Amino acid sequence: MLSSQRQFLLPILGLLALAGPAFGGVKEVHDVYELSGQPAIQPRFSTDVANGKYTPPEEMDPQFWYSLADEEITKRLALPQPSSLKAKNVIMFLGDGMPLATVAAARILKGQRQGKTGEESSLSFERFPYTGLSRTYCSNAQVPDSACTATAYLCGVKTNIINIGVSAAVNYNNCTASQDPANRLTSIAEWAQNAGKSTGIVTTTTLTHASPSGAYAKTANRMWECDSDVTSYGADASTCIDMATQLVTQTPGKNFEIMFGGGMGKFLPKSITDSHGKAGERSDGVNLLGRWQGLHDGGVLVTNRDQLLSVNVSRVSSIIGLFQSKLMNFHMDADETYQPTLSELTEVAIKKLSQNEEGYFVFIEGGLIDYGNHYTQPGYALDEALEFEKAIQLARDLTNIEDTLIVVTADHGHAVSIAGYPGRGTPILGINQHDTDLNGVKYAVLNYAAGPNQYLDETGQRLPLEDILVSDDAIAPSYIAKEQGVHSGEDVGIWASGPQSHLFTGVMQQSTIPHLMAYASCIGSGQKLCDRA
């Protein structure tokens, strides 16, 4: 299911994320819980940190914590009363496979990249005023996949694992059942379109990957991305419509004004070489991109960063961007001149969609966090999480906090842990200096339940990792030998900012999330803010 494609080097930093707030900064005060306490020294090079024996000197003074607590109380007291403001725009950010352990590790890495200890750092969305927890199990699964969870957080209904956009009455690979109108669901993208809003999807995976597909597809198998995939799973591709075809020809996909991601091959026949030099994957001979252009007067196809950034959004009706043949590359490996960052995709998407006076709904996914965790390469997962948090900061800066609701969440966790009492400031991708196993061998800070490398010698003893965990792409140790890491079943976080964000608190079913977004923006068929007196 996972294909590795790491062709390039050199990261690009989201300079855009440094842009000032577009909304005058007044409300920002109420919407931010930034911890101001930061270590006075740059401990990164301290031998005490290296030995796991560092305490920031200012933290030895209780007054440091009293002041910090006072600041945090004051910020909470300054929160405005829940307002009656309606969300004209809704931006949903989805960190695929981003458990709270990955969020905490990413914030530590963020601080450590700035030369600090890291634990005290904050991600952009952690400054949002309201947080909740999302229960992620699916109808037939204790631990879910990205398909049934996408159905929950975009269509508002829990279903079976591997299903997208159809109810739990549909069983695996059963096309007949998926075509029964009684089993087919609508997504918040369709609810938004029915209210006259613009819609779009953005992902770092493929446009036909499970998460973005929740916005438009109805399928009994998430793997049916193009007709060749349908056939390879034993279904009839002439009657069982693949997801790329659904996206281009059916409601609501055909009405999306923004579609950014990878997966160009799913839209082109095998006889055509795509913009990235690879052959298309379709067996039916259909060029879906030609078809899309025929259906979209003023629509434009872009396939690299320069093309994307040179689009004048006022002059096009819609944009489809397909930036790789398959998945997009990890940010850490990507050619910065060729593949746009998630922040760049986010900026163009918001600029285009915000032209609609009626507002918009856009789904934006950091889809490769999950891949980093599956590969048990936390350096990739955390770098992707940091790209994700930059895009969220940019989205908050580009939009008005009084009319744009931003909801950040994950679809499911991953079985990764931060464990074993490492000292303050210990490199998050490194080794815990404080503890050993029963044989006196030190162990990593980050460990996975399952994955390819157990790092055992021939007698089953753990190997020392000092020479192994040395690069950002190192494979972390795992307990159960498997080709890949596995998802986990604990709750994931929800972080919200903007109109009605106070509703995104407490422990909720994942399937409630789109209904809350619909309530806030007065769309869909359920309860709406606008229906209240």
Ligand X SMILES: *[C@@H]1O[C@H](CO)[C@@H](O)[C@H](O)[C@H]1NC(C)=O
* Residues near ligand X, by CB under 6 A: 171, 174, 176-177, 180, 312, 314-315
CB atoms within 10 A of CB 423: 17
- Does position 389 interact with Zn ion (CB under 5 A)? The reply is no
Name the residue whose CB lies closest to ligand X.
177
- Does position 120 interact with Zn ion (CB under 5 A)? The reply is no
CB of 240 to ligand X, least distance (A): 12
CA distance linking residue 420 with residue 25, whole number of Å: 41
The response to whether 374 counts as a known ligand-binding position is: yes
The response to whether 358 counts as a known ligand-binding position is: no
Q: Which among 124, 146, 343, 511 is annotated as catalytic? A: 146
| Tokens, residue 267 | 């839209």
312's contact among ligand X, Zn ion, none, with CB below 5 to 8 A by partner kind, is: ligand X
DSSP letters, 194-247, are: HTT-EEEEEEEEETTSHHHHTTT--BS-TT-SSHHHHHHTT--TTTS--HHHHH
Distance of CA 505 to the CA centre of its chain: 20
CA distance linking residue 102 with residue 106, whole number of Å: 6
With beta carbons less than 8 A apart as the criterion, state whether 144 and 137 touch. yes
Cα-trace Rg, the chain: 23
- Does position 411 interact with Zn ion (CB under 5 A)? The reply is no
Closer of 376 and 500 to Zn ion (Cβ)? 376
Closest CA to 79 of 23, 129, 132, 34: 129
239's contact among ligand X, Zn ion, none, with CB below 5 to 8 A by partner kind, is: none
**Structure letter (DSSP) for residue 265:** G
CA distance linking residue 449 with residue 70, whole number of Å: 39
CA distance linking residue 363 with residue 191, whole number of Å: 14
Closer of 394 and 476 to Zn ion (Cβ)? 476
* Binder among 370, 384, 387, 411 for Zn ion (CB under 5 A): 370
Closer of 174 and 510 to ligand X (Cβ)? 174
Question: Peptide bond preceding 514: is omega within 30 degrees of 0, i.e. cis?
Answer: no
Closer of 93 and 375 to Zn ion (Cβ)? 375
Task: Give the range of 149-157, 172-180, 203-211, 363-371 binding Zn ion by CB under 5 A.
Answer: 363-371
CB of 136 to ligand X, least distance (A): 26
The response to whether 211 counts as a known ligand-binding position is: yes
- Does position 365 interact with Zn ion (CB under 5 A)? The reply is no
CB of 313 to ligand X, least distance (A): 8
With beta carbons less than 8 A apart as the criterion, state whether 119 and 385 touch. no
3-state SS, 371-385, equals HHHHCCCHHHHHHHH
CB of 220 to ligand X, least distance (A): 8
325's contact among Zn ion, ligand X, none, with CB below 5 to 8 A by partner kind, is: none
**Helix or strand (DSSP H, E) at 147:** helix 146-150
- Based on the residue annotation, tell me whether 146 is a catalytic residue of this protein: yes
Sign of the Cα pseudo-torsion (332, 335, 336, 342, in order): negative
Q: Counting beta carbons within 10 angstroms of the beta carbon of residue 271, is it exposed (0 to 12), middle (13 to 18) or buried (19 or more)?
A: exposed
CB of 381 to Zn ion, least distance (A): 11
315's contact among ligand X, Zn ion, none, with CB below 5 to 8 A by partner kind, is: ligand X
CB of 410 to Zn ion, least distance (A): 11
370's contact among Zn ion, ligand X, none, with CB below 5 to 8 A by partner kind, is: Zn ion
CA distance linking residue 443 with residue 199, whole number of Å: 47
The response to whether 96 counts as a known ligand-binding position is: yes
**Count, residues near Zn ion per rule CB under 5 A:** 2
**Residues that constitute the known binding site for Zn(2+):** 96, 370, 374, 411-412, 487
Q: Which residues are catalytic?
A: 146
Residues that bind Zn ion (CB under 5 A): 97, 370
**Residues that constitute the known binding site:** 96, 209, 211, 365, 370, 374, 411-412, 487
**Residues that constitute the known binding site for Mg(2+):** 96, 209, 211, 365
